[in-house]
Amino acid sequence: VSKFKIIESTLREGEQFANAFFSTEKKVEIAKALDEMGVDYLELTSPAASEQSYNDCKTISNLGLNAKILTHTRCHMDDAKLAIETGVDGVDVVIGTSSYLREFSHGKDMEYITSKAIEVITYIKEQGKEVRFSTEDSFRSDLVDLLSIYKAVDKIGVNRVGIADTVGCANPRQVYELVRTLRSVVNCDIECHFHNDTGCAIANAYAALEAGATHIDTSVLGIGERNGITPLGGLLARMYTADKAYVKNKYDLTKIRDVENIVADAVDVTVPFNNYITGYCAFTHKAGIHAKAILNNPSTYEILDPTDFNQSRYVSIGHRLTGWNAVKNRIEQLKLGLTDEDAKQVTQKIKELADIRPLSLENVDVLLRQYHSAKETSSH
């Protein structure tokens, strides 16, 4: 699982998010920020979508970023030609293969799809560019159809084949099985794209990697069509947990928050409270028992080390679940020099007050200081 590549699709799938409208300047800013983080590829909206989309592919290809620049097109020669004109490093080609898409979208049969795929892939390769071929709605496509088309494109030298859970219906076990099967049929790399309609987008990405996939599509904060896809931050959290050294070495994890802020701002949303790594409570510890252990050794209740992500840990103490060890720690931070017995007493006071209303850290500090000075006065 440790070796994997990220195809960052905020500038393609992310543009399909309800609120997204990216100016050229904003795209450039996002592209640079993602590049600094070290993502392997940036995927851009098809140049066939609009004139600005076409120009933006050119602009971003010319930035001289480390990340490879891809654009994402339908499986059409016209689109492929436009893509090549823009100077991108590669093209992610997609076509629908499920019966839904064949009936209600493009209306083509598998024979036609296969011959088109071969024509388009051959052309892109002849231009010296990287090419991926993916089937939209893979999990509701016929397995025999899928494997035969992937086999055909692998044989003519496609760089990657892609699996897409377009509607977010797949679960990790199904993903593992499909990728495993595909792994035994093709030699090329395998890219996976997971929508999050039913909450499996990160778990599915992980299962895909376990089964032999090599590339995962992400977007910042998971933005995309409907409720989006595998979020970049969440995938990094998952992969950090699987192989910390590899992930820390390859990606600049301290930049996640900046990238998310740029994108959140651009699409007019706030970072969710429970977001992976950057949600406001992602490193807040509350229960007295947790707080005590955290103060002794953070790993007791933290799988992610906040400092690796340039985040800080917060131990919350102004509430009824608080414990005297955490309160004592705050007393020490304030250099108030109270005894354990004092800490226990003042903790009881905090609990009494917090049963009526939650206290801010400032409220708690005032209480600790009052206790301290009351004690000083009485001892003189």
Cβ neighbors of 172 (< 8 A, separation 6 or more) are 200, 203, 204, 206, 207
Binding residues for Cu ion, rule: CB under 5 A, are 13
**Per rule CB under 6 A, is residue 164 in the interface with ligand HCA?**
yes
Neighbouring residues of 327: CB distance < 8 A, sequence distance ≥ 6: 317, 343, 346, 347, 350, 364, 368
For the CB of residue 36, give the shortest distance to ligand HCA in the complex, in Å: 25
Q: Residue 359 burial (CB < 10 Å; 0-12/13-18/19+)?
A: buried
Residue written as token pair 């970023």: 65
Nearer to ligand HCA, 46 or 347 (CB): 46
Question: In this chain, which of 90, 162, 172, 233 binds ligand HCA, going by CB under 6 A?
Answer: 162
Q: Footprint of ligand HCA on residues 65-84 (CB under 6 A)?
A: 72
> Which residue is closest to ligand HCA by CB?
166
Interaction between residue 92 and ligand HCA (CB under 6 A): yes
Q: Count of CB atoms within 10 A of residue 373's CB? A: 11
Kindly tell me which of 72 and 330 has the beta carbon lying closer to ligand HCA: 72
- Asked if 222 and 229 count as a contact pair (C-beta separation under 8 A), the reply is yes
Cβ atoms of 103 and 96 closer than 8 Å: no
Question: Which of 195, 215, 290, 319 does the annotation list as catalytic?
Answer: 290
Give the CB-nearest residue to Cu ion. 13
166 binds ligand HCA per the rule CB under 6 A: yes
With binding defined as CB under 6 A, does residue 136 bind ligand HCA? yes
Strand 68-74 versus strand 90-96 pairing type: parallel
94 belongs to the binding site for ligand HCA (CB under 6 A): yes
Q: 8 or 13, CB closer to Cu ion? A: 13
CB 34 within 8 A of CB 78: no
Binding partner of residue 162 among Cu ion, ligand HCA, none, CB cut-off 5 to 8 Å per kind? ligand HCA
- Pick the binder of ligand HCA from 53, 61, 134, 196 (CB under 6 A): 134
Which of 13, 56, 79, 154: binder of ligand HCA (CB under 6 A)? 13
Q: Does 260 bind ligand HCA (CB under 6 A)?
A: no
Neighbours of 99 (CB within 10 A): 13
Choosing from 119, 177, 197, 225, the residue that interacts with ligand HCA (CB under 6 A) is 225
By CB under 6 A, is residue 372 in contact with ligand HCA?
no
Piece of 104-112, 145-153, 162-170, 279-287 that binds ligand HCA (CB under 6 A): 162-170
The answer to whether 206 touches 238, Cβ cutoff 8 Å, is yes
Residue owning tokens 């493009």: 106
193 lies in the site for ligand HCA, by CB under 6 A: yes
Q: Residue 29 binds which one of Cu ion, ligand HCA, none, with CB within 5 to 8 A depending on kind?
A: none
Torsion of CA 112, 118, 124, 126, to 10 degrees: -140
Binding window for ligand HCA (CB under 6 A); candidates: 161-169, 202-210, 232-240, 266-274: 161-169
Query: How would you classify the pairing of strands 5-8 and 215-218?
Result: parallel
Q: Of 152 and 289, which CB lies nearer to ligand HCA in the complex structure?
A: 152
**Residue found by looking up tokens 């997609």 in the block:** 94
Q: In terms of CB distance, is 13 or 130 closer to Cu ion?
A: 13
Give the HSE-up count for residue 75: Cα atoms under 13 Å, Cβ half-sphere.
23
75 binds, among Cu ion, ligand HCA, none (CB under 5 to 8 A by kind): none
Indicate the residue among 136 and 365 with the shorter CB distance to Cu ion: 136
Our answer to whether residue 215 is catalytic in this structure is no
Residue type present at position 204: N
- Beta carbons of 311 and 282 less than 8 angstroms apart: yes
Shortest distance, position 227 Cβ to Cu ion, whole Å: 11
Other Cβ atoms within 10 Å of 281 Cβ, number? 12
Distance from C-alpha of 192 to C-alpha of 190, rounded to nearest angstrom: 7
136 binds, among ligand HCA, Cu ion, none (CB under 5 to 8 A by kind): ligand HCA
Task: Give the whole-angstrom CA distance, residue 225 versus residue 229.
Answer: 8
Contacts with ligand HCA by CB under 6 A lie at 13, 16, 72, 92, 94, 134, 136, 162, 164, 166, 193, 195, 225
Report the catalytic residues: 290
